[in-house]
A and B are shown apart, each in its own frame.
Chain A
Amino acid sequence: MSNQVPIAEGLFTWPSAKPALLASRCRKCGIAAFPVASSCMACSGQDVEIEELPSRGTLWTWTVQQFMPKNPYRSDETPETFIPYGVGYLELPGGVRVEGRLTENDPQKLQIGMKMDVVFEPYRTEDNGDEVINFFFRPVQ
């Protein structure tokens, strides 16, 4: 079995039986930020704590990326194998709106206000065989 590595350290708990996105929350004003930041963009405070974000939220807005982005885009795709992908902001109760890729790319099946789960899935494979894990938003099934 191949080794699974997160796309970036500190974005989400990994490895974990129940992975979750990680946010920082300002102890002074209570505002949360994703990804974890060492200072607060709302009040300039530097006293932050790290917390796990909820795994279910509401789609705030979305689009579908219909053409393959240039560098720094880095997937296993070629212009021939590229598959359009959805992008959206998921409103996580009590936390923040997080921008992420959607597992759904059919505009007919995407709607503002729909419930979605945060899931963690392989995104690409490195030359050494490692599977790179990213977070995605998936319509609640």
Chain B
Amino acid sequence: MDVAIVGIGIHPFGRTPARSGLQQGAYAARLALQDAGIEWRDIQFAFGGSASAGSADALVNELGLTGIPFINVANGCATGGSSLISAYNAIKSGEYDVGMVTGFDKHDRGAFNADPEELGIGQWYGEVGMMMTTQFFAMKIQKYMHDHAISHDTLAKVSEKAFINGSKNPNAWRTEPISVDEIINSTMVNDPLTKFMFCSPAEGGVALILCRADHAKRYTDTPVYLKGATMKSRRFGSFEVFSPSQALQQVDGPTVDASKAAFEMAGVGPKDMDVMQLQDTEVGAEIMHMSENGFCEDGEQEALIQQGATHIGGSMPVNTDGGCLANGEPIGASGLRQVYENVLQLRGQAGDHQVPHDPKLAYTHVYGAPGISAITILQR
């Protein structure tokens, strides 16, 4: 059974003091229901995630108690992607006809705090100051820059593009362009990454309505089909966040594994993608994820980014809504924001951030601690 996305809703990302995370989730859910022209009572199941804004299934208190199975998902930065795959499989199996996927969050300012013991690492690791996701991303791009000749200027150009795209997206958090000079010269956080090269914890909500493909036209004239949806965790030997040690022999990370599986499932290749949303926790992640997902060879990013290939009008538009860099990262909602953006793109409804030439295939990728990756390939 093929699966279609027939309704989408979003609560603007950023800071909304007047609404709780749950209320932002309900806001997005109502918009998604309205978009699909369906009532909440007709939804047969839901998967949802929220890291810091309470249980996702508390949404039923806002939307109504209808007795459906509502399953909470918690998978770090890959929560949204994991929820979507769960819903996809629920419909694909033939068990359900129509359901909702939702994610919302509301985080405090500042970096995410992580507890080493929750991840099975000794307390000493946090005490000496290594329990920092930002250090991992910095060390990974540091090594990558060394091995593949990526320049500091290219790092900054990724942020510059993110804020340009954010300025075209009314739902983005950061909507002011920032110059390459200002990005490079902003406060150093973890060498080589400066403040404006990182995304921040934020708030927001997204909801999607999924149904079996042969029912899609009941709900919308513009269904978007899920041609591939995969999720992988790390194998032994991949370089991941929060690793007190790593193997001398390195293997491909979960992104490479999930990407290959998604392309195989969809029967298409990286060159067929018209628009892609790649996990950009910081600029280095976007650069490395371009090659890990198969869109270029290692090192080609330097020329591609300098030429503007990843801009909205470029040959391989990446993070057309501004990505995590311009939207912030509400963990539960972040992966679903990417899917929301791709549905807009494939429907031709992305307004000022619409990519040209009627895109037909779109790609999303999330990556999260402690080494999880989820991919979707959408087709209109």
B-contacting residues, A30-71, CB 8 Å:
31, 33-35, 41-42, 60-67, 69-71
> Quick check: is B171 within 8 A (CB to CB) of the other chain?
no
B247 touches A63 (CB 8 A): no
A-contacting residues, B88-115, CB 8 Å:
110-111, 113, 115
Given contacts A7-B127, A73-B127, A74-B127, contact A97 B246 (CB under 8 A): yes
A112 touches B115 (CB 8 A): no
A64 touches B190 (CB 8 A): yes
Q: Select one of B116, B135, B248 contacting A96, CB under 8 A.
A: B248
Given the complex, which residues of B lie within 8 Å of A67, measured CB to CB?
189
Given contacts A7-B124, A11-B124, contact A66 B244 (CB under 8 A): no
A-contacting residues, B123-143, CB 8 Å:
123-124, 126-132, 135, 138-140, 142-143
Q: Select one of A61, A72, A73 contacting B142, CB under 8 A.
A: A61
B128 touches A134 (CB 8 A): yes
Q: In the complex the two chains form, what is the Cα distance from A64 to B192 in whole Å?
A: 8
Distance between A81 CB and nearest chain B CB, rounded to angstroms: 14
> Quick check: is B357 within 8 A (CB to CB) of the other chain?
no
Q: Which of B111, B139, B237 has the most CB of A within 10 A?
A: B139
- Chain B interface residue count, Cβ-Cβ cutoff 8 angstroms: 37
Distance between A82 CB and nearest chain B CB, rounded to angstroms: 10
Q: Nearest A residue to B143 by beta-carbon distance?
A: A61
Given contacts A35-B122, A63-B135, A73-B129, contact A112 B188 (CB under 8 A): no
A69 touches B190 (CB 8 A): no
- Chain A interface residue count, Cβ-Cβ cutoff 8 angstroms: 41
B245 touches A73 (CB 8 A): no
Distance between B60 CB and nearest chain A CB, rounded to angstroms: 34
Q: In the complex the two chains form, what is the Cα distance from A34 to B111 in whole Å?
A: 27
> Quick check: is A89 within 8 A (CB to CB) of the other chain?
yes
B124 touches A63 (CB 8 A): no
> Quick check: is B349 within 8 A (CB to CB) of the other chain?
no
B110 touches A72 (CB 8 A): no
Q: Select one of A71, A87, A134 contacting B124, CB under 8 A.
A: A134
> Quick check: is B191 within 8 A (CB to CB) of the other chain?
yes
How many A-B contacts if CB must be within 8 Å? Answer: 113
Given the complex, which residues of A lie within 8 Å of B143, measured CB to CB?
60-61, 112
B124 touches A69 (CB 8 A): no
A112 touches B191 (CB 8 A): no
Q: In the complex the two chains form, what is the Cα distance from A87 to B139 in whole Å?
A: 9
> Quick check: is B271 within 8 A (CB to CB) of the other chain?
no
Q: Contact flags (1/0) for A72-86 with B, using CB distance below 8 Å?
A: 111100000000010
> Quick check: is A25 within 8 A (CB to CB) of the other chain?
no
Q: Select one of B123, B146, B192, B237 contacting A72, CB under 8 A.
A: B123
Given the complex, which residues of A lie within 8 Å of B245, measured CB to CB?
23, 33-35, 96-99
Given the complex, which residues of A lie within 8 Å of B189, measured CB to CB?
66-67
Closest 10 CB pairs of A and B: A72-B126, A63-B138, A34-B245, A61-B143, A8-B124, A74-B127, A96-B245, A61-B139, A63-B190, A42-B236
| Residue ranges of B at the interface with A (Cβ–Cβ < 8 Å) | 110-111, 113, 115-116, 122-124, 126-132, 135, 138-140, 142-143, 146, 187-193, 236-237, 243-248
Selected A-B contacts with CB under 8 Å, 9 pairs = A34-B245, A42-B236, A65-B129, A69-B129, A72-B127, A73-B127, A91-B248, A97-B245, A134-B128
| Residue ranges of A at the interface with B (Cβ–Cβ < 8 Å) | 7-8, 11, 23, 31, 33-35, 41-42, 60-67, 69-75, 85, 87-89, 91, 95-101, 107, 112, 123, 134
Q: A96-B248, A97-B247 are in contact. List 6 more A-B contacts (CB 8 A).
A: A8-B124, A72-B115, A88-B139, A97-B246, A99-B244, A112-B142
